[in-house]
């Protein structure tokens, strides 16, 4: 069932989502460089969860943030910045929040698996995320929201090219488009047997965090 969007008093809100490894955080870093003025407000789901007191470290893995998405969604309006600056919320759970448009990054499952292996992900996590991408898990979740979905294959694109596409969508220079990515039509097999972001409880999902990027009191999600 289509959900209600954010109140009219909030700025334009966009979800930048996709399977871990599709390039969300790399593009986000270019959209809002540290120390420089940006035309966008860019925040990670984990930052919002921490502000809303709706996330906690997962007991079995200190590198995982367990996010209560129902609680975070209820707190969402109070977390929104003031003013007209477009707000881009980044993370593979971002499409569960009350946004006005979803920007979905895709990546060939074999390339995705290679990216995840190179950054040191657990083999089970690599397999899980590769299969989730293969069978369009986040695309189906996004379409179920009833919110306009913009889809981009990042397999052969640089972070700079992905960031440029995000800017064009946010500025209204291209309309919603999805359905052109079909990994099953291009490969009979792909690594993976399960999905990493499976729910450990009602309204809760796991967000992976790279050990190399952990700071005291900070749990940013993976790209």
**pLDDT at position 56:** 83
Q: Per 3-state DSSP, what percentage of the chain is helix, strand, and coil (rounded to 5)?
A: 35, 20, 45
Beta strands 101-106 and 149-153 are: parallel
Q: What was the pLDDT predicted at 187?
A: 61
Backbone angles phi, psi at 152, to 5 degrees: -140, 130
Q: Which residue has the higher pLDDT, 45 or 190?
A: 45
Greater model confidence, 211 or 141: 141
Residue 102 CA to residue 96 CA, distance in Å, equals 10
Q: What is the sign, positive or negative, of the torsion defined by CA atoms of 165, 168, 169, 175?
A: negative
Query: 9: burial class by Cβ within 10 Å (0-12, 13-18, 19+)?
Result: exposed
In angstroms, the CA 207 to CA 90 distance is 12
Total-model pTM: 0.78
- For residue range 8-40, list pLDDT tens digits in order: 545 699 999 999 999 999 999 999 876 566 788
pLDDT band for position 148 (50/70/90)?
A: very high
Q: pLDDT tens digits, residue range 164-199?
A: 999 999 999 988 998 889 998 876 544 443 333 333
Topology (CATH level 3) of domain 13-213: Rossmann fold (3.40.50)
**pLDDT digit string, tens, across residues 48-93:** 998 998 888 777 666 677 888 999 999 998 898 877 889 999 999 9
């Amino acid at each position: 069932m289509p959900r209600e969007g954010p109140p009219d008093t909030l700025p334009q809100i966009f979800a930048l989502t996709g399977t871990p490894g599709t390039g969300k955080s790399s593009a986000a870093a270019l959209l809002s460089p540290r120390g420089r003025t940006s035309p966008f407000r860019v925040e990670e789901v984990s930052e919002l969860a921490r502000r809303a007191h709706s996330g906690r470290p997962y007991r079995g893995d200190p590198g995982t943030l367990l996010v209560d998405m129902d609680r975070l969604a209820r707190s969402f309006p109070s977390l929104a910045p003031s003013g007209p600056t477009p707000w881009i919320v980044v993370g593979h759970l971002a499409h569960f929040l009350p946004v006005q448009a979803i920007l979905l990054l895709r990546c060939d499952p074999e390339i995705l698996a290679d990216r995840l292996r190179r950054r040191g992900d657990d083999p089970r996590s690599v397999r899980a995320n590769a299969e989730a991408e293969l069978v369009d898990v986040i695309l189906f979740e996004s379409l179920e929201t009833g919110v306009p979905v913009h889809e981009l294959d990042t397999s052969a694109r640089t972070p700079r090219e992905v960031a440029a596409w995000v800017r064009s969508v946010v500025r209204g220079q291209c309309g919603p488009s999805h359905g052109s990515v079909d990994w099953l039509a291009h490969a009979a097999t792909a690594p993976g047997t399960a999905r990493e972001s499976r729910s450990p409880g009602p309204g809760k999902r796991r967000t992976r965090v790279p050990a190399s990027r952990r700071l005291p009191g900070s749990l940013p999600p993976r790209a």
